[in-house]
Structure 1
Amino acid sequence: MFTGLADWQMVGKYHKAGGAMDRGLGLHGSYVTTVGDYSAAAAQVILPHVIGSLEVYEQQTSLPLVIEHSQTIVLWGCDPIKNLQIEFLVPDHDAFGYWAQIKEAVAQGKIRVISVDPVRSKTQNYLNCEQLPLRPQTDVALMLGVAHTLYVEKRYDVNFINDYTVGFEQFLPYLLGTTDKQPKDAQWAAEICGLSAENIRDFARILVSGRTQFMGGWCVQRMHHGEQYPWMLVVLASMVGQIGLPGGGVGFGWHYNGGGTVTSAGPVLSGLGSIANPPAAKYKPDFRGASEHIPTSRIVDCLLAPGKKIAFNGETLTYPDIKMAIYSAANPFHAQQDRNRMIEAWEKLETVVVLDHQWTASCRFADIVLPVTTRFERNDIEQFGTHSNKGLMALHQVVKPQFEARHDFDIFAGLCKRFDREAAYRENRDEMQWINAIYDEGVKTGAALGVTLPDFDSFWQGEGYIEYPAGQPWVRHSEFREQPDLNPLGTPSGLIEIFSKTIAGFGYADCPGHPVWMEPFERSHSKAKTKYPLHLQSCHPDKRLHSQLCSSDAFRKTYAVAGREPLYMCEQDARARGLKAGDIARVFNDRGQVLAGVVISADYVPGVIRIHEGAWYSPQKGGKAGTLCTYGDPNVLSADVATSQLAQGPSAHTVLVEVERYQPQAPDVTGFGGPDTVKEEGENAA
């Protein structure tokens, strides 16, 4: 049995779908779990080897310090103005106030912001800042050209490299070309990334002209060899030498969870935790020699090749022979790559169960769909401001559960009842008792921090809102910089690892012991002849959280084009294909085909187009691999190829396509509405 989870379903400490599922199936005893996720799989595996922690989901240097100290901000594939609209918990949106100050500082010439991105991002347009429009998937080549310039011009921070890093001497022969007869100089990088050599050299000089803050996004690591980008960005920041200083260094979470907002002095609530003194699981785990976990994006490969052995972060995993899958708070028919290969793999499953309150494509491909309640049908409690942890909020039920919908917690309680574990699962608490208990734990934690919270009844029946005392600004990695011996990083050396003996020891040809430039399996704007000339971006949408809200007819009408997901492209590419704004186009490659509505935008350069991820899969012929997607799911076109043997993450952004005008009358969109209502046997027509 395989369990799939994203947990983006809704906020709430008690009604967290993942907690309910793990709790219930843990008492069952035998199920295959996942490692990593679709968002940042490559980065979250490589960065602990390099800088000692996940980085991607962690707090960033406080934005007030960035505003005060930074002379240059580098947005590397990072679009905070778009992506800060959502958080994992209740958003407080405080980060936007700081970005408004950065905008003002840019206008006054106090801060220089440079966006490294093939297209003009929402953040670039908001800030009216500079851009280095490199070719798609060439980021590491550009970084190497910058690093080479810093080295040969003697502009890099030798003391920081000597005191806070290891492995520069192993990396240097590659950078200078003594190992492969190819110096990674600015001219070499220019031929790959499309910028001029002088622009690359100027960029390098800017980085060391004052305090520079690198802000790394996640889209670049969702490409083939995606591990190389975050590793090389850390190397570049190390050569600049400002890691651990206010307004300097590198971070990978500025676009997420209110990154950079000041964290309060209040407690963090734990939520639905593990069972105290749990009884033995009903069934003893038996994976028949296979692994009990797989990388998240390898599920299709696992279904198609049970027993196959793969490398993963130093392990050798054996794919289990999965017969059943349960998905809760997840929509795999949006997140997984290569939709047609996925359809073939789903036929291998004997039973698929989906818990949801929307009739997604994943529900349509399921055998059993269990309707769960929405946020409005639940009582709960949650903190607001994910990184800021600004305070607590009571989430009161608006209506009782409708029709036959049940809470995730109650669904898994019912499952536990079938194998005599319900009492252990519930711990003799109902909904409000659980919420009260979670709150009371917060009261104890707050007291230890010197923060007094009211009793639960006063909180719940009163305003239902508590704002914590303000915290203090903080600098990421400052403790390490100040005392590296007493505050070592979580790497084997305790230092930043430019060369990793651990990774080198794995012996992976596609991820050696230091960052390198490697060609992806397909790339636009290269010397190689390609069947499909356009690079397709499928980054996070501006109007949705992944696939959520795409089902709303009213909201979809505010951005859809001719009833389809928008296809963004430049006028030159559109004109060459006889397309104009508002046309329905067919976007295709050897992996699949989708329809989308044309939007012509000056933000895009020739050869680069975009369809946002999260567009609902809408097959013209349901359940049939290869059929036309009538709405515009970009993962019909993406490849199910791992980033490397190290992280086995998704390469969702390594995609080449072609676009043409759709000549026949466009078919109706099939992915919305439903399910069909059928009468039970013996039911009256009335």
Structure 2
Amino acid sequence: MSHEGTIVPHYTAAHWGIREVEGTELRHWSEDPFPSRIGLDQLHPHLQRLRVKRPAVRASWLRETSRGPNARDPQEPFVEVGWDFALDLIAGELERVRGRHGNQAIFGGSYGWSSAGRFHHAQSQLHRFLNVIGGYVRHVDTYSLGAASVMMPHVVMPMSKLMVQQSTWPVIAKHTRLFVSFGGVPLKSTQVSPGGVGKHRASEGMRSLHASGAKLVNIGPVGDTLECEGVEWIPIRPNTDVAVMLALAYVINEEGLHNVAFLRDYCVGFERFRASFTGEDGGAPCTPEWAESVSGMPAARIVTLARELVATRSLINMAWSLQRGSHGEQACHALIALASVVGQIGLPGGGFGFGYGSMNVIGSDGGSLRGPTLPQGRNLVSEFIPVARLSDMLLRPGETFTYNGETLQYPDIRLVYWAGGNPFHHHQDLNRLQKAWQRPEAIIVNEQYWTATARRADVVLPATLPLERDDLGYSAREGHLVAMRKVAAPLGAAKHDYEIFQELAERLGARNQFTEGLSASDWLRRLYGECREANPEAELPEFDDFWGQGMVMLDDDVEPQTLLEAYRRDPIAHSLETPSGRIELYSETVANFRLDDCPGYPSWIPPHEWLGSSSITPEVTFHLLSDQPARRLHSQLDASEYSLGGKIDGREPVDISSVDAQRLGVNTGDVVELWNDRGRCLAATRVTDSIRSGVLRLSTGAWLDLDSDGRDRHGNPNVLTLDVGTSSLAQGCAAHTCLVNLRGPIKNPPEVRAFDLPVLR
């Protein structure tokens, strides 16, 4: 097979869309109605300058005769070495740590977003390699959905199923008459789906819904997250959505408008839930007036909205951002409970939505396959952590933590192997992570660019871009399977992750187990063949025909889909996977965990930090929201011309209300400093009328750029965010619970140095 050669490809795929390719030029796929511009300049020299071109070892680490914790100063020089030297060094470190401490001292870090390809998927490749040499400590859940991934199975269904079973946009546009979204529908986040977007459908879905005459209500601190004309924006304090949901349920119950039959036949625990929000259990009743005092939403509007929800076909949506805060589990539970009280779950256009606007796949009516997946083998190490507890694991070895009702222990990690991710973007309280990062004896990274993580590694191995290798592009409910033909030759000495791990496996006596005797080309044929066999109804062509035509698009004429429609039709035959088989408004399982910060019923619990606290200084204290960026995926391609085009003089913009800007004397373009006890960063102000007074918005993804005093010069919000679990149930990411102080304008701010290369010897 010649696809590793110089064949001119027709298509490739990225998380943000399918691309047509001519030579090395990328263009939008002509059939995508709303294509994303992210990634079209991946091969631009400005980005290529930042590539890791040869294996490199931290100079001080190379000199060490014995291994131990070290500072890992990102300004320290690296020594470029040959591949054999680097691989021998890494294999020796793996052997040393396994021999002295066991495989439970190895952490396999990866976050899975480095490529849309299903074979050259860095997370899968890393985990497969570590499994064949005895296993590793893994992470569970995601930064995006940590609280929901644990809570939703107790209440309604696992997130993996909920994401692909939600009502499709055409159904919503046809039947929904009232669309209420807590957190809006931020279409910038729908530019991506894991494995790649086929057609960007969310924009058209929202336009069709608006054109149908449906009423749209956006409840949240930011007003531009529901991008349609005529949207009613109700600004509330961040982290107070649950209080509003409980008050809506209170009004519906008090006025006798709750759907008694639905609550009886499809739910368990309503009486216990009702006792909590009415005050029958001894607590304060969740009245509209109480909710107004917490959230700032007028009590009168809570009353009228409650009546509107039950008077017409209504869908209540919640953005993922709500559960990325203190007690985020409660937002998930309250969403399902409120929709159950309204009683339209399972009806076309009614019920609840979770994450419309969070990824393109939510609500997509594209076709679906049982897609190609690289088998990772069996992990012989049982220890794991919730992904957002990375710093805790490194700083607190041997200490206990709770997760989903279990009491577990943090392992003692001596070696970290990272591929396909950038924890110095994703994690919270990056100054704390930097201290934790000093504790392992060895940190190895496969990376394409000199990111903040690469500059804090001991050994950095140059990995290829997705455009520099052949692969299979696929994403559930996106309706495509793409032959991702190589567009360009690997830069410098870069290797595919598969090559890197097979050479390491050979040094550790596990090459045959890792490769199964297959080349990368053989694996593509095998994975495609398995996919073809698993989906006979799709009538996929033979591999060579598929590779020649470049893409298979599934039939777009799929059946309309309504979430939980079958369950509503027959709750016995289509019972849920919850302990009761029904929607659990009161979860005995969660209640029996006896957690002070996560009861068995939805409850508003004051966040660790919030604008309602009596200890803040309102004149200079703000609630910081750190949402997804519009011009990149997480921190990927931050140095691209498209991403740089969204900055102000090279610095990330922070949105501030016109009221606050006038009060503080700052204008668009002024540099200000945000600070709290965790860290400091500079950002350029962008004045807007689309954000609530007292709230700031600074998108994630600006490459970390700390000066000698530990202040970030570039605008990375995660030097400020809170590194605590959402609760002791899920231990998820609580980034959206964050208070900061603001001062400025800053005169003569320092130059941004985020994209400087390290010193290479």
TM-score tier after normalising by the smaller chain length: over 0.9
Q: Encode CA deviations 1:307-333: one digit per residue, 9 max, x unaligned.
A: 111111011110111111111111000
Dislocated runs of 4+, deviation >6 Å: none
2:400 corresponds to: 309
**TM-fit CA distance, 1:249:** 1.1
Is contact 1:58-1:253 (8 Å) kept? no
**TM-fit CA distance, 1:629:** 0.4
Match of 1:486 among 573, 583, 586: 573
Which 5+ residue runs of structure 1 have no aligned equivalent? 286-290, 679-686
Structure 1 residues 57, 316: CA separation in 2 closer, same or farther (over 3 Å shift)?
same
**TM-fit CA distance, 1:181:** 4.5
1:65-464 counterparts in 2 under 5 A? 65-91=171-197, 92-105=199-212, 110-122=213-225, 124-255=226-357, 256-264=359-367, 267-274=369-376, 285=381, 292-383=383-474, 386-447=475-536, 449=537, 451-461=538-548, 463-464=549-550
Q: Encode CA deviations 1:557-613: one digit per residue, 9 max, x unaligned.
A: 311112210011012212222211111111111111100011111111210111001
Q: Encode CA deviations 1:426-449: one digit per residue, 9 max, x unaligned.
A: 1122122211112222222232x2
SS of the residue 1:75 aligns to: strand
Distance 1:534 1:274 in 2: 45
SS of the residue 1:598 aligns to: strand
| Match status 1:646 vs 2:729 | yes
2:661 corresponds to: 574
**TM-fit CA distance, 1:178:** 2.4
Distance 1:181 1:397 in 2: 62
SS of the residue 1:575 aligns to: helix
2:675 corresponds to: 588
2:644 corresponds to: 557
1:63 corresponds to: 169
2:632 corresponds to: 544
Q: Encode CA deviations 1:445-479: one digit per residue, 9 max, x unaligned.
A: 232x2x32222112212x21222223211111111
| Match status 1:466 vs 2:556 | no
Distance 1:391 1:581 in 2: 42
**TM-fit CA distance, 1:269:** 2.3
**TM-fit CA distance, 1:372:** 0.5
Which 5+ residue runs of structure 2 have no aligned equivalent? 1-105
2:714 corresponds to: 631
SS of the residue 2:210 aligns to: helix
**TM-fit CA distance, 1:539:** 0.8
**TM-fit CA distance, 1:644:** 0.5
Structure 1 residues 387, 71: CA separation in 2 closer, same or farther (over 3 Å shift)?
farther
Match of 1:8 among 89, 108, 113: 113
**TM-fit CA distance, 1:641:** 1.1
- Farther-moved stretch of structure 1 (572-581 vs 133-142): 572-581
- Farther-moved stretch of structure 1 (402-411 vs 660-669): 660-669
Identity %: 36
SS of the residue 1:591 aligns to: coil
TM-score in terms of structure 1 length: 0.92
Is contact 2:371-2:476 (8 Å) kept? no
Match of 1:496 among 583, 586, 589: 583
Distance 1:635 1:337 in 2: 5
Give the aligned residue type for 2:290.
W
Give the aligned residue type for 1:550.
D
Is contact 1:563-1:597 (8 Å) kept? no
SS of the residue 1:568 aligns to: strand
SS of the residue 1:499 aligns to: coil
**TM-fit CA distance, 1:541:** 1.0
Count matched residues.
651
Q: Encode CA deviations 1:374-402: one digit per residue, 9 max, x unaligned.
A: 0111101113xx34341221111012222
Q: Encode CA deviations 1:36-90: one digit per residue, 9 max, x unaligned.
A: 1100100111010011322663331121111111111112214242211111122
SS of the residue 1:599 aligns to: strand
Distance 1:392 1:220 in 2: 33
Give the aligned residue type for 1:302.
M
| Aligned CA-pair RMSD | 1.7
**TM-fit CA distance, 1:662:** 4.6
Distance 1:136 1:620 in 2: 31
Q: Encode CA deviations 1:467-496: one digit per residue, 9 max, x unaligned.
A: 222321111111111111111111100011
1:681 corresponds to: none
Distance 1:632 1:522 in 2: 21
Is contact 1:73-1:112 (8 Å) kept? yes
Give the aligned residue type for 1:596.
A
Match of 1:508 among 586, 595, 607: 595
Match of 1:39 among 131, 144, 148: 144
Is contact 2:187-2:202 (8 Å) kept? no
Q: Encode CA deviations 1:274-307: one digit per residue, 9 max, x unaligned.
A: 45xx8xx9xx75xxxxx61011111101111111
2:746 corresponds to: 663
